[in-house]
């Protein structure tokens, strides 16, 4: 199983956990181009809220990735083109 590991701020973590936010965004920069090549397939995304070993985590189905415009309310106001990571159902949670 291929896992995409991403760290989130609490605001975005909580919105995804509640089901309100259905996409995650990353800037179209070389680092993310290398990690999120549109041809690269992941099975799940592991989101982590913080860097400690006891940080809250959740695994969510990976539903694909594309380049487009972010939903303003879900993006800290980004208006440039971004990677849009599509989120499926929550598979598991830990340390909530």
Mean pLDDT in residue range 64-91: 88
What pLDDT is attached to residue 71?
Answer: 87
Q: Is the pLDDT of residue 1 over 90?
A: no
What pLDDT is attached to residue 72?
Answer: 84
What pLDDT is attached to residue 38?
Answer: 63
Average pLDDT of the residues of the chain: 91
Q: Is the pLDDT of residue 60 over 90?
A: yes
Per residue in 7-30, pLDDT (tens digit) is 999 999 999 999 999 999 998 999
Query: How would residue 76 be classed by pLDDT, with cut points 50, 70 and 90?
Result: confident
Half-sphere exposure of 60 (CA within 13 A, CB side): 25
87's CB contacts (< 8 A; 6+ apart) are 16, 21, 22, 23, 24, 45, 60, 61, 62, 63
Q: Are 68 and 38 in contact (CB under 8 A)?
A: no
Q: Which domains does the chain have, with CATH numbers?
A: 3-94 (2.30.130.30)
């Amino acid at each position: 199983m291929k896992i995409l590991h991403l760290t989130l701020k609490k605001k975005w973590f909580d919105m995804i956990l509640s089901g309100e936010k259905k996409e995650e965004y990353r800037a179209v920069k070389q680092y993310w181009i290398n990690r999120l090549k549109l041809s690269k397939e992941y099975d799940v995304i592991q989101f982590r809220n913080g860097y400690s070993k006891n940080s809250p985590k959740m695994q969510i189905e990976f539903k694909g990735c594309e380049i487009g415009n972010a939903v303003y309310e879900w993006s800290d106001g980004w208006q440039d083109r971004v990677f849009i990571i599509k989120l499926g159902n929550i598979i598991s949670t830990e340390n909530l």
